[in-house]
Structure 1
Amino acid sequence: MENVEQFLEQLQLDKNITLDDIPNIDLYMDQVIQLFESKYSGTKRNEDDKILTKTMINNYAKGKLFFPINNKKYSRDHLLLISIIYQLKGTISINDIKHVLEKLNEKIVKENFRLDLLYTSFLALVEQNVNQFRRDFRELVSGTTEEIQHFEDEDSDYLEKVLLISSLSYMSNLYRRTVERLVDEIHREE
């Protein structure tokens, strides 16, 4: 694969909603959607894809993925939870997300839990994850390039991509299975 750095840059791995992105006032649903669209628009696979919709937010609310809103406005904590849900939904089911966030929602409501501190820790780990991913991806591309040299085929670029896709998919499955096991542990503890 040529231009590994350009490829990594196009993924926009460092796009996340930060505490500074969230205004200090509660937002209406349209403003929440606009915030997410503006922050993550470059991460969409297709131009027509939606980052967040009214239906999604309503389903999260009905599914009790976050605590109830006040006067049709979403607080800073709601936005942080929606951001976490946005990250989780690509890997685990809505039902699993509910199990993961249930106790956290209770802590926010009953104990005035500082979600902003947890979210800051989450972003710090995300930064570490992105840096690790960049290193791992470069190494994987290098290994794939070495492996493809065993083939004398005019479609070596295509075959290299097939190997890379297969390897990345395998790793994705390992992470997903690990996440599911952790979700099951949370569920058993409840």
Structure 2
Amino acid sequence: MEKLNELLDGLYLDNHLSIKEMPDLDLYMDQVIQLFESKFASSKRNEEEKILTKTMINNYAKGKLLFPIKNKKYSKDHLILISLIYQLKGALSIKDIKTALEHVNEKITNDNFNVDDLYEIYLYLSEYNREQFREDAHECASEVNRQVSLMENSDSDYLEQLLLAISFVNMSNYYRRAAERIVDEIGKGKETT
């Protein structure tokens, strides 16, 4: 289990951009990129991976995942949405993210919606989910270990790693598919209004 703890610690699952870390001043694109790169550097799989690029931000704006930018500057609300997009893009398509965030963008633009409250709840739930994930990961690893111990094989370490990776991917697929269904429901709700 020690290796599993090291693996989970190395994922930096608690790495989120807090409201306090977001400046109240509007930022230029390069400043936004620098903020995200510095905050999420430890979460990168390798040095070549980019957290955020100009092309990504431009695509988010062109794809209407973000409400319009004013004077080439990004507000705190934009930073919150970019942070949510960063999290969502690991599992959902850009089309699904647009569908999921469309109503929030409209509320920010038309209703002066305070997206800070939504983001604070997201951060709270992220912490809750992180703790739940750690518990579930340990339970899964225990079951994998139990099942591999029933096999007669000298390569048990490899088999445990393989089966644990497959189990994690399997669970990830379940959650992704459930999230896609929820986004589909959001899209249906939008069509009827």
Which bracket does the TM-score occupy, shorter chain normalised?
A: over 0.9
C-alpha deviations, 1:48-97, integer Å up to 9, x for none?
Answer: 10000000000000000011111111000000000000000011100111
Moved over 3 A (4+): none
1:184 corresponds in structure 2 to 184
Q: Size of the alignment, in residue pairs? A: 190
Q: 2: distance between equivalents of 1:89 and 1:71? A: 26
Distance in 2, matches of 1:51 and 1:115, equals 22
Deviation at 1:154, TM superposition (A): 2.1
Q: Secondary structure at the match of 1:3?
A: helix
The equivalent residue for 2:28 is 28
* Superposition deviation, residue 17 in structure 1: 0.5
Q: 1:165 Cα shift?
A: 1.0
Identity of aligned residues (%): 57
Matched with 1:15 is 15
Distance of 1:95 and 1:5 partners within structure 2: 35
Query: How far apart, in 1, do the equivalents of 2:9 and 2:84 lie?
Result: 23
User: What amino acid maps onto 1:84 in structure 2?
Assistant: L
1:14-69 deviations in Å (ceiling 9; x for gaps) = 00000011011111101101111111111111111000000000000000001111
The residue type paired with residue 18 of structure 2 is: T
TM-superposed CA distance for 1:2, in Å, is 4.2
CA distance in 2, matches of 1:2, 1:156: 16
Question: 1:114, 1:83 → 2: CA distance?
Answer: 16
In structure 2, what is the equivalent of residue 55 of structure 1? 55
Cross-structure match for 1:130: 130
Shift of 1:136: 0.6
Would you say 1:114 and 2:114 are equivalent positions? yes
The one-letter amino acid paired with 1:55 is T
Structure 1 length normalisation: TM-score? 0.97
- Once the two structures are TM-superposed, the CA of residue 145 in structure 1 deviates from its matched residue by 1.1
Cα distance in 1, alignment partners of residues 154 and 50 from structure 2: 38
| Letter paired with 1:5 | N
**Aligned-pair CA distance for 1:142:** 1.2
Please give the alpha-carbon distance, in whole angstroms, between the structure 2 residues aligned to 1:153 and 1:186.
48
SS in 1 for 2:46: coil
Alpha-carbon distance in structure 2 between the residues aligned to 1:6 and 1:98: 35
Q: Could you say which residue in structure 2 is the equivalent of 1:90?
A: 90
Can you give the 5+ residue segments of structure 1 that lack an aligned partner in the other structure?
Answer: none
Q: 1:3, 1:62 → 2: CA distance?
A: 43
